[in-house]
Chain A
Amino acid sequence: MAGLYRNFLARNFTGPAAEAIIESESETQFAWRLGEKAGTTSTLSGALWNLEAALCESIIRSQRRSIAIHAATMQIADSVALVAGCSQAGKTTLSLALGRRGFAISGDDVALVEPETLKVLPIPRCFHVDDGGAELLEADGLRLPEAWPRFRFIVPNDFGAPAKPPGRAGCLIFMRGPRAAHPRIAPVSQAEMSGRLLSESGQGPLTDSETVAVICGLAAAASCFALTPGPLGETADAVAAVLQHSRPEA
């Protein structure tokens, strides 16, 4: 996990050191602990999931001045593309399908934005893939790692995507449902994107006005699109085409 989160370790992560522990108490009972947080689940993958969620939460809390956005993150040259959307919108599956198409995916769930620089720091959480998602991804041509059936998650490094330093967002895509027969991706105004991102952002210690200013600044420097997803392969192809033409403004 230290490798997965090395961007944060390199940035003087100041949280208290805590051991991450998983213990097997029987074949159907797994205990996990991270500092003062602990729990028990019936599966190893469940214990890993909870342990990783606790670690992720600690990291978000340690980056006090940053704004958390509910979005998947891809590296496009020196910039970053964010695919935002609510839970169950399909960010993880789409991210993995884009990974298969050669994009360096660095997170599927949460990214942090530095207010002063507007740089985006992805939180490289493991990608949790259920049976339905795996079926879609395999139909799209993705070969899941051998360990997937045991743990039910994939890490960005499985795609050979190295953690890169934070970059500014060049492209913002907001997923909105319901799923259509074919995907639709269309430019939206920076104001609309700002409004949508605000609905998927955590405020942190900033004031409302500061948060709005940061989100508007993020949208102002990026190409903004709304995506109505369709079948996975078509959707990933459409998004890939948009990402290849998006670069941040100077």
Chain B
Amino acid sequence: MLPGGELSGTDVLLRHREVDLNPLPDQTVLLFQKDTSLAVPVNQVGAAIWEMCDGVHSLDQIVDKLAETYDQERNRIEQDARAFLGELIRLGFVERKC
């Protein structure tokens, strides 16, 4: 982890156990935290990132996999993934694996 709490590329992310994933036909997903009843709508890319928060993939590995799939610059993907994961951590949906 970098100073100030920012994610480093080697940080491994883990989904909170009390979050349900509800896929919808338009490929979007609703994440729902059961203990706080907080719902967060997520698009297809967000859903893919969520699936990779499995306690195995690091941020760098997540970004690598997304870069293989989506036609975007790696820097841009990393920037978006960091922002998204930072928000999920802030909301308590994801945590860094120690």
Contacts of A189 in B (CB 8 A): 24, 26, 28, 41, 43
Number of B interface residues in the complex (CB < 8 A): 16
Quick check: A212 and B39 within 8 Å, CB to CB? yes
Asked if residues A195 and B39 are in contact (CB atoms below 8 Å), the reply is: yes
Q: Is A48 an interface residue (CB 8 A)?
A: no
B30 touches A212 (CB 8 A): yes
Hey, which chain A residues are within 8 Å of B25, CB to CB? 190, 220
Say yes or no for B40: interface residue by CB 8 A criterion.
Answer: yes
Give per-residue flags for B31-47: 1 if the beta carbon is below 8 A from chain A beta carbons, else 0: 01010010111110000
Interface string of A17-52 (1 = CB under 8 A from B): 000000000000000000000000000000000000
**Nearest Cβ in chain B — how far from A32, in angstroms?**
35
| A148 smallest CB distance to B (angstroms) | 39
A116 within 8 A of B: no
Question: A208-B37, A212-B20, A220-B24 in contact; A191/B32 too (CB < 8 A)?
Answer: no
| Minimum C-beta distance from B1 to chain A (A) | 29
Name the residue in A190, A191, A198 with the highest tally of chain B Cβ atoms < 10 Å from its Cβ: A191
Q: Is the interface of A mostly helix, strand, loop or mixed?
A: helix
Give chain A nearest CB distance to B38 CB in angstroms. 9
Complexed CA–CA distance, A198 and B32 (Å): 10
Cβ–Cβ contact B42 & A191, under 8 A: yes
Residue numbers in B under 8 Å from A212 (CB-CB): 20, 22, 30, 32, 39
In whole Å, how far is B21's beta carbon from the nearest beta carbon of chain A? 10
CB proximity of B6 to chain A, nearest CB, Å:
27
A216 at the B interface (CB under 8 A)? yes
Contact at B34–A195, with CB atoms within 8 Å? no
Check B39–A190 contact: CB distance below 8 A: no
* Count of A interface residues, CB-CB < 8 Å: 16
B40 to chain A, nearest CB (A): 7
Judge whether B29 is part of the interface by a CB distance below 8 angstroms.
yes
Assess A195 versus B20: contact at CB under 8 Å? Given A189-B41, A190-B25, A212-B39.
no
Cα separation A190 to B42 with both chains bound (whole Å): 10
On chain A, the residues within 8 Å of B26 by CB distance are: 189-191, 220
Chain B residues 1-25 with CB under 8 Å of chain A are 20, 22, 24-25
A208 near B34 with CB under 8 A, answer yes
Q: At the interface, yes or no: A192 with Cβ under 8 Å from chain B?
A: yes
A99 → B minimal CB distance (Å): 31
Bound CA–CA A189/B26 (angstroms)? 7
A190 touches B24 (CB 8 A): yes
Task: Please report which residues of chain A, range 193-226, place their CB below 8 angstroms from some CB of chain B when the two chains form the complex.
Answer: 193-195, 198-199, 208-209, 212-213, 216, 219-220
Nearest 5 Cβ contacts at the A-B interface: A191-B28, A191-B41, A189-B28, A190-B24, A192-B41
